[in-house]
Structure 1
Amino acid sequence: MNARILTTLGFDKVKQMLAQYIVTAQGLEEVEQLAPINDALTIQAWLEETEDGLKIQRLRGGIPIPKLENIRPHMKRIEIGADLNGLELAQVGRVLSTTSEVIRFFNDLEDSEIELLRLYSWIEQLVVLPELSRRLKESIDEDGRVTDEASEDLKIIRNNIRKSEQTIREQLDGIVRGKNAKYLSDSIVTMRNERYVIPVKQEYKSVFGGVVHDQSSSGQTLFIEPKQIVELNNRLRQHQIAERNEIERILSELSAELVPHRNDILHNAYVIGKFDFANAKARFGKELKAVVPEISKENDIYFKQARHPLLDQEKAVPNDIMIGQDYQAIVITGPNTGGKTITLKTLGLLQLMGQSGLPIPAGEESRMGIFDEVFADIGDEQSIEQSLSTFSSHMTNIVSVLEKVDNHSLVLFDELGAGTDPQEGAALAISILDALGSKSAYVMATTHYPELKVYGYNRAGTINASMEFDVDTLSPTYRLLIGVPGRSNAFEISKRLGLDQTIIDEAKHIMDGESQDLNEMIADLENRRKMAETEYLEVRHYVDESERLYKELKEAYAYFFDEREKEMAKARKKANHLVSEAEEQAADIISDIRKMQLTSGNQGGVKEHQLIDAKTKLSQLHQEETRLEKNKVLKKAKEQKQLKAGDEVIVNTYGQRGTLIRKTSAQEWQVQLGILKMAVNESDMTPVAPEKEPKQRVTAVRSSQSSHVPNQLDLRGKRYEEALAEVDQYLDAAILAGYPQVTIVHGKGTGALRTGITEYLKNHRSVSGFEFAPGNQGGNGATIVKFK
């Protein structure tokens, strides 16, 4: 990829934004080396790492990586036998400890069954050096200071230093607070040449004796080491020299321990840099609300709701940019300041970012292509040094592009053919586009020339586009309109700004007729587009609503199915339990019958009434499954069937047909069963039609009206009690007929009947709701009743 395009489209600025999220020196190198490539497999791997980084950022807030310095120079120094200082060893130790932390972090992700595409493979390349890491951690602190635990000798030496310093301070404190304090310039203890001294007035220097180490700028104060602490300072100095020698020995020893592992440590730093880079891409993507694009095998681009990454994302107007599927060239026409150049740069920059493995500020399901080269001629590149005009400069760039372009190139031209005579410029622009089209290059070009609007209609694989302009507000909306060429808004703007209508009309007459027709055609296209967009949004609303309802219905059906299965399972379990109990009781009854059969011997077998009693016990095992006492409809239907002497019934207990003789009590009848007469409860018998003598079959035609229930009940003119009774019977009949709703006409009148019916309907168990009829169907003079 040519380096010039990276600067032209602002890719370097994107890298600067990305670098803000880097915390390691190795990660910064990754950013500095970042550039778009054209190898599909490598790009896919980079994008998958970015996808992993975004996923970890979303789930865990990112990979825990601290600030790490570049340790490559340190490893080179120990390779040639040099020793590292404490700060350098601390930086190496931080790399080793970070390695362990990162491995623990990814092990936790794996234990949580979080799937990643690429980053787990990088973890396998890390080498843990626990002993070396522990040694560095206990010997060197974060600031590079060698700790007391680095060696036993160092701990003893430092204890001696602390004791010596304490003794010296006690001695000097006795001087500055004692009777000789009057000879001091100040009651403090200080240091000169790494030895403890006190400030003495110049005229009393002989009072304390000892060694003069320094004097003040005025000469009035001498910094003297009193003779009684000279030996103590000498001893302290010896301890300090021993400390320095021991520290040098420890640093040398630790540096030597690093040598066998220098390649592993360097590779760990490299892998951590990769993780830091993935972290930075994820944070960058989160800031821009970016996504990882798919790679199109057909090399067609679809950047959904794309935004330029260098603009304020809250203010940037998103646009759908498509090229490569239905057309390979887009010609954007229209006036300046509409956003044509930004749209051009957005396409190019997002493509470069995608080919660098970066997330792009666009919507989900965005697709990118892969190009060997991206060329651009954007902006005023007039060269004073080369004595080139604007047109000459652009043409020089275009010539260079045409020499290198092929079918794997993306070409971006801003104001193609500008800077010269309009007719010649338009003709050149058309020829250049034809030349690029013959090489099957992908092209997006902006222009002012109206001739290119016709070009966009006539050329295969080419489409017009424009940036929307709001004539009412006299401002651009920055929305890209694919398929609609730009039009001049000069007449509309002039009119809104107050230019006389006669002048505008005269200008329209002077204007070329074809241009006028073209503008009118474009205006009509824009109107149709707006209408289509409005209808699309309305349809989209209903589609979304339908999808929501479908989802809710699907969930409700799944819930119903699950509940039904649960209830069925409960019922089967309960039924099996009842059957088991019934089988046990039946076995006992059959056993009793057998015993009676055996005990009867030759005395005529089991008596009829004994068999009937046994059968009665069996029938009593049957349990009522559903209680319908409260069902008013069935209750009324049952009341309508009055039993009387002579009726034939089936006695349920024995399963035999019998004839009613007489009623013995409120609920019992005497029934003739064959040669037997028995007392049977009404609840244990079912009325049946009497058996008829066989006769010739006659088919009777019965009017459907005889059993028809009307869907409307008219109560006008009826009394209150009579009307409510009729409503009660009518609703029961309508429910049996399976009607979802009926209409009750009660009239308006005084409102008493309407109020009574309303109160009745509120308390009816089978009514799900009711409302007054529409105005054209009676209004509040009729009520529509809906059943459950």
Structure 2
Amino acid sequence: MNLRTLRVIEYNKIVEMLTTFASSPMAKRKCQRIKPRKDLAMIEALQQETRDALRRLNTQGNLSFAGLKDIGASLKRLEVEGILTTAELLDVASMLDLAATAKRYGENEGTSMTDTRRRSQEQIEEEKASNKMLGLSMNPDGTTCPDSLRTRFLELMPLEHLSREIHRCIISENEFADDASSGLKAVRRNKRLTNEKLHNQLAKLVSDTSKQTMFQDNLVTMRNGRYCIPVKAEYKNHFPGMIHDQSSTGATVFIEPMAIVNLNNELKELDNQELAEIEKILESLSAQTAAEIEYIKYDFDTLAELDFIFARASFARSYKGTEPIFNTDGIVDIKQGRHPLLEKHTVVPVDIKLGEDYNLLIVTGPNTGGKTVSLKTLGLFSLMGQSGLHIPALDGSRLNVFDDVFADIGDEQSIEQNLSTFSSHMSNIVYILDHVTPGSLVLFDELGGGTDPIEGAALAIAILSHLNNMGVRCMATTHYSELKTFAMSTPGVENASCEFDVATLQPTYKLMIGIPGKSNAFAIAKKLGIDDSIIESAKANIDSDTVDFETLIADLERSKREIEQDKADIARLKEDAKQLQERAQMKDSELSDKKSEILAKARQEASEIIEEAKAEADAAIRKYNKWTTNPSKADAKAMEAERQKLRAKINDLGRMNEEKRKTVKSDHKASDFKVGDTVHVISMDSEGTIMALADSKGKLKVQMGIISAALPPTDLLLVEHEKKKPQKATVTGGKSMNRMMNIKPEINVLGMTVDEATSLVDRFLDDALMAHLHRVTIIHGKGTGALRKGIHQFLKSQPHVKSFRLGEFGEGDAGVTIVEL
């Protein structure tokens, strides 16, 4: 890619932002050297690395590379059998510790290949939707895609034995452990004993009361690494020994008494022995490190590369980037692209298409309308995507692999070369035309500007025609009306404009493909206060064809806005209708299941009654046979009592059946009801409202929450609000109706996964609607926010949810969501 394009498209600023997300010096250098690639396989591999790192960030949290130092120079010294310093060895140990942490992070992958044989397609689709929210890619069968980073993590060699040994021996950069070696331990023990002797001798000397007046201070000090006592100059001859220093005034001399000279000498010798032992330890640790240098180099290089990959993922997460789909067919389809260098809270998303129905896109409209931003967005997205970076656009956006990107943007006037703005642009365009290929992307900002409008427009048309004939993908901005006509009349060329609100004199920055833009110069001038007579005079200077053309553009622009609004309304209505149909089918299925359940229960009860009757009859027949075979033992009173008992049971069964018939039916006729009456539906044990009078079959339309049903009057009881509804109902509508009648206005999903919570919330909202609740509360807690985001995403797709918000102070704050139905 040519360097000028990288500069004018501001790719370098993207690189600077990316670099801030890297931790180690090596990864920062990799970020600074990142460049767009031209090989599709390489680009897709880089994109997969970014995607897999982003998925791990979302599912497992951050992996810190803060302790990774540049040990390249240390490794080179080891290769020539050099000895490392304590700081270098600690850096190696720190790197190995990070390798161990990274290896555990890699092994604890948040998702794994899942056996899908026992899962329905619906379950797979639900899991896909959930994983999409977490940035997790999946195969068509519902299994997760292989992780491109897994091998890197698994092949790390933390060399725990080496890092433990380094940490055991070296406490800090300036401190070694006594147990680092037996020799160091012995030397330090001797140093302590010698120090004790020396201090005892000095303490005895300075505490001698007969000599107190000879000392400047009653203390021991050090000069030139030797222990000394401060003596007044006039008494120096009273203390045989070596004078090491004197005060600036000469009043005090620092004498090493002869009695401790040998001890001081011994202490110096022990210091030298200690340094020698430390050198041996450093030599030993360096040798152990050199023995593992191949593993250490692999860990070092791998961690630096992982730091670079996770920097790309963290950068993508900062602007909610997605992985683009690449092709080599010249097709670009950016969906809701947001320029990453603009304020993310105010940037207006744009849709840009190129390479399918047309190869050239000519964007017209007023200044400050967003034309150049749209131009740079296309170029920057292409460069970012081919560098392995995700783009801030909707999932499913497509990019082509361009062999080069050329851009002529901005004022490149050169004083040194004595070039005007037009000449500078032409010099750049000459370079582009000399190097462009059919596989290139070309971006022109105000093509043909800076010179006579007629000649400039003609030159711009000639340049664009040349590129169009070559099959080059090109996007150009212009003010020339001639280019609008050129786009309308030339195959492979399309008009576009950036929408501008004349009423507010503000651009909307929305790119509208298919409609040329107006300059709106007269409208803007009038809004700013230019006299009407001047504006009318200006209009009179424009020929009628130009006026008609501008009017046509305005009409087309207005028509396109209306059509787009109609399309959006139709799409929304179709989606609402689809969801309502799906819910109706689901409710019909539930009602069918309830009906089957009721019938099965009735059959079971009937079967039990028959079995009981058969048992009673069999017992009576046995007794009767016994009496007939042995009349002498027949007891008339007993026989009569048995007969009365049987008759009583028969009467009881009759009364039970009569009560059931009374319970499941009513005496109402269709004429007893009117629209708006509240009724109790016996078969469902639920309340509803009469929505329509009896049809040709004598059935009334009853609305129960979101369920509408045609029911006979015998299944309905009028409900008087001052009275309680029937207390007993033999036939019920099942568990879902009981839930509806006893529903609470809140649900607790704390600790659940997103899938578990949304499934439970879905059933809860259905019950709430049937129970005529208008507001409910979902308790999800604060935590990481993943559960809250998943629930909010689900609520956005529910047509019966009017609105929702986080709780306020006293309601549960961000730990709850209030839903209006």
TM value normalised by structure 2 = 0.71
User: What residue number does 2:31 align with?
Assistant: 31
Q: Does 1:740 align with 2:701?
A: yes
Q: Which amino acid in the other structure matches residue 160 of structure 1?
A: N
Does the CA contact (< 8 Å) of 1:327 and 1:461 recur in 2?
Answer: yes
Within 5 Å, which residues of 2 pair with 1:304-315?
A: 304-315=335-346
Does the CA contact (< 8 Å) of 1:188 and 1:199 recur in 2?
Answer: yes
User: What residue number does 1:73 align with?
Assistant: 73
User: What residue number does 1:505 align with?
Assistant: 536
1:34 Cα shift? 1.8
Structure 2: how far apart are the matches of 1:123 and 1:272?
A: 9
User: What residue number does 1:490 align with?
Assistant: 521
Q: Which amino acid in the other structure matches residue 740 of structure 1?
A: K
Q: Which amino acid in the other structure matches residue 389 of structure 1?
A: S
1:504-551 Cα distance to aligned partner (Å, 9 max, x none):
111100123222222222222332333334444544554565566566
Q: Does 1:121 align with 2:82?
A: no
User: What residue number does 1:401 align with?
Assistant: 432
Structure 1: how far apart are the matches of 2:609 and 2:248?
A: 114
Does the CA contact (< 8 Å) of 2:479 and 2:519 recur in 1?
Answer: no
Q: Which amino acid in the other structure matches residue 700 of structure 2?
A: Y
Q: Which amino acid in the other structure matches residue 189 of structure 2?
A: N
Does the CA contact (< 8 Å) of 1:53 and 1:62 recur in 2?
Answer: no
1:562 Cα shift? 7.8
User: What residue number does 2:173 align with?
Assistant: 143
Does the CA contact (< 8 Å) of 1:467 and 1:476 recur in 2?
Answer: yes
Q: Does 1:443 align with 2:474?
A: yes
Distance of aligned partners of 1:580 and 1:26 in 2 relative to their CA distance in 1, 3 Å threshold: farther
SS of the residue 2:504 aligns to: coil
Q: Does 1:477 align with 2:508?
A: yes
1:242-297 Cα distance to aligned partner (Å, 9 max, x none):
22111111111121122232112111112212221222122212222222222246
Unaligned stretches of 5+ residues in structure 2: 114-135, 137-143, 632-638, 676-689, 704-717, 727-736, 738-771, 773-821
Distance of aligned partners of 1:612 and 1:252 in 2 relative to their CA distance in 1, 3 Å threshold: same
Distance of aligned partners of 1:388 and 1:598 in 2 relative to their CA distance in 1, 3 Å threshold: farther
Kindly, what percent of the aligned residue pairs are identical?
38
Structure 1: how far apart are the matches of 2:261 and 2:654?
A: 114
Which residue of 331, 334, 353 maps to 1:303? 334
Which residue of 283, 289, 313 maps to 2:314? 283
SS of the residue 1:361 aligns to: coil
SS of the residue 2:176 aligns to: coil
1:501 Cα shift? 1.0
Distance of aligned partners of 1:262 and 1:528 in 2 relative to their CA distance in 1, 3 Å threshold: same
Q: Which amino acid in the other structure matches residue 143 of structure 1?
A: E
Which residue of 337, 343, 351 maps to 2:368? 337
Distance of aligned partners of 1:407 and 1:470 in 2 relative to their CA distance in 1, 3 Å threshold: same
1:201 Cα shift? 4.9
1:457 Cα shift? 1.3
1:710 Cα shift? 8.3
SS of the residue 1:303 aligns to: strand
1:368 Cα shift? 1.9
1:591-641 Cα distance to aligned partner (Å, 9 max, x none):
7788779879xxxxxxx999999998998998998774694795759xxxx
Q: Does 1:455 align with 2:486?
A: yes
User: What residue number does 1:519 align with?
Assistant: 550
User: What residue number does 1:104 align with?
Assistant: 104
User: What residue number does 2:51 align with?
Assistant: 51
SS of the residue 2:358 aligns to: coil
Does the CA contact (< 8 Å) of 1:593 and 1:614 recur in 2?
Answer: no
SS of the residue 2:343 aligns to: coil
SS of the residue 1:109 aligns to: coil
Within 5 Å, which residues of 2 pair with 1:65-464?
A: 65-109=65-109, 117-141=147-171, 143=173, 145-165=175-195, 167-169=197-199, 189-206=220-237, 208-217=239-248, 219-296=250-327, 298-464=329-495
1:154 Cα shift? 1.9
1:54-113 Cα distance to aligned partner (Å, 9 max, x none):
122122222243321122222221111111111111111122222222222222226877
1:746-776 Cα distance to aligned partner (Å, 9 max, x none):
xxxxxxxxxxxx994654849x9xxxxxxxx
Structure 2: how far apart are the matches of 1:272 and 1:624?
A: 84
Structure 2: how far apart are the matches of 1:163 and 1:436?
A: 90
Does the CA contact (< 8 Å) of 2:106 and 2:154 recur in 1?
Answer: no
SS of the residue 1:420 aligns to: coil
1:497 Cα shift? 2.1
Structure 2: how far apart are the matches of 1:217 and 1:630?
A: 122
Structure 2: how far apart are the matches of 1:575 and 1:183?
A: 123
Moved more, 346-355 or 231-240: 231-240
SS of the residue 1:740 aligns to: strand
User: What residue number does 2:6 align with?
Assistant: 6
SS of the residue 1:434 aligns to: helix
Distance of aligned partners of 1:291 and 1:110 in 2 relative to their CA distance in 1, 3 Å threshold: closer
Structure 1: how far apart are the matches of 2:47 and 2:347?
A: 25
Does the CA contact (< 8 Å) of 1:391 and 1:419 recur in 2?
Answer: yes
Distance of aligned partners of 1:220 and 1:376 in 2 relative to their CA distance in 1, 3 Å threshold: farther
1:478 Cα shift? 2.8
Structure 2: how far apart are the matches of 1:145 and 1:362?
A: 53
Q: Does 1:22 align with 2:22?
A: yes
Moved more, 314-323 or 354-363: 314-323
SS of the residue 1:469 aligns to: strand
Does the CA contact (< 8 Å) of 2:457 and 2:480 recur in 1?
Answer: yes
Unaligned stretches of 5+ residues in structure 1: 601-607, 638-706, 714-729, 743-757, 769-787
Moved more, 468-477 or 411-420: 468-477
Moved more, 4-13 or 501-510: 4-13
Q: Which amino acid in the other structure matches residue 549 of structure 2?
A: L
Moved more, 505-514 or 531-540: 531-540
Moved more, 292-301 or 505-514: 292-301
SS of the residue 1:234 aligns to: helix
Distance of aligned partners of 1:221 and 1:519 in 2 relative to their CA distance in 1, 3 Å threshold: farther
Larger radius of gyration: 1
1:16-40 Cα distance to aligned partner (Å, 9 max, x none):
2111121223323432332111222
Q: Which amino acid in the other structure matches residue 273 of structure 2?
A: A
SS of the residue 1:406 aligns to: coil
User: What residue number does 2:762 align with?
Assistant: none
User: What residue number does 2:116 align with?
Assistant: none
Q: Which amino acid in the other structure matches residue 74 of structure 1?
A: S
Structure 1: how far apart are the matches of 2:175 and 2:30?
A: 31
Does the CA contact (< 8 Å) of 1:328 and 1:441 recur in 2?
Answer: yes
SS of the residue 2:191 aligns to: helix
1:433 Cα shift? 0.8
SS of the residue 1:368 aligns to: strand
Does the CA contact (< 8 Å) of 2:338 and 2:348 recur in 1?
Answer: yes
SS of the residue 1:502 aligns to: helix
1:305-363 Cα distance to aligned partner (Å, 9 max, x none):
22222222223222222222332211112233333222211111111111111122222
| Count of aligned residue pairs for this structure pair | 662
Q: Which amino acid in the other structure matches residue 127 of structure 1?
A: M
Does the CA contact (< 8 Å) of 2:89 and 2:166 recur in 1?
Answer: yes
Q: Which amino acid in the other structure matches residue 35 of structure 1?
A: K
